[in-house]
């Protein structure tokens, strides 16, 4: 059987198809949404309904490094808001936005489940525990440095 987007032709795989697209491209481009709708035989409105309902999906490109600050309870009582305030201030962009150089996007994430190491921050899948603004600043500087030297971190 023909398989596209890594899923069988069955509308119940819509979420998986979108997840696969996002893993590959970082977000869901409009053209891909149209193609998924055609392939799975569902209206385009349903594709967008699903893509906007779930927190995970992005409809616009993100930065090379996505910094996600955990919003779990343990992280909250241990100061995750300070981390967000710091990031906004230090990178000069708001939550959900990307820096002009296309390097960093700030995001919130519901709970990473690393509560015992609160507050936690995730950068491209790597979790950093017991963070504070100082460590965060060092991390960003390190990433920028690596970028300048043409290395890929995380």
User: Which residues in this chain contact another protein in the complex, by CB under 8 A?
Assistant: 10-16, 18-19, 46, 49-50, 53-57, 71-79, 82, 85-86, 89-90, 109-118, 120, 125, 127-129, 132-134, 136-137
Closest distance between another protein and the C-beta of residue 116, in Å?
Answer: 3
Q: What count of residues does the chain have?
A: 154
User: Rounded to the nearest 5 degrees, what angle is found at the Cα of 68, between the Cα atoms of 66 and 71?
Assistant: 165
Alpha-carbon distances, residue 147 vs 38, 66, 117 (angstroms): 39, 14, 28
Q: How far is the CB of 32 from another protein (least distance, A)?
A: 16
Q: Identify which of residues 34 and 102 has a Cβ nearer to another protein in the complex.
A: 34
CB of 31 to another protein, least distance (A): 20
Tokens of 79: 């100061």
Quote the least distance from Cβ 132 to another protein, whole Å.
7
Q: How many CB atoms lie within 10 A of CB 41?
A: 9
3-class DSSP assignment, residue 108: strand
Closest C-alpha to 65, from 4, 149, 3, 146: 146
Nearer to another protein, 29 or 79 (CB): 79
Judged by CB, which is closer to another protein: 96, or 102? 96
Cβ-based nearer residue to another protein, 67 or 112: 112
């Amino acid at each position: 059987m023909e398989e596209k987007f890594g899923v069988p032709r069955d509308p119940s795989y819509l979420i998986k198809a979108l997840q696969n697209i996002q893993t590959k491209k970082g977000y869901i481009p409009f053209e891909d949404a149209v193609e998924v709708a055609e392939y799975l035989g569902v209206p385009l409105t349903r594709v967008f309904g699903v893509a906007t309902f779930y927190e995970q999906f992005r409809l616009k490109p993100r930065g090379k490094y996505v910094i996600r600050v955990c919003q779990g309870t343990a992280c909250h009582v241990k100061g995750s808001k300070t981390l967000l305030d710091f990031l906004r201030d230090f990178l000069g962009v708001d939550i959900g936005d990307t820096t002009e150089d296309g390097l960093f996007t700030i995001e919130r994430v519901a709970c990473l489940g690393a509560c015992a190491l609160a507050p936690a921050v995730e950068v491209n899948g790597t979790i950093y525990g017991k963070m504070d603004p100082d460590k965060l600043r060092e991390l960003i500087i390190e990433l920028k440095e690596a970028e300048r030297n043409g290395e890929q971190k995380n």
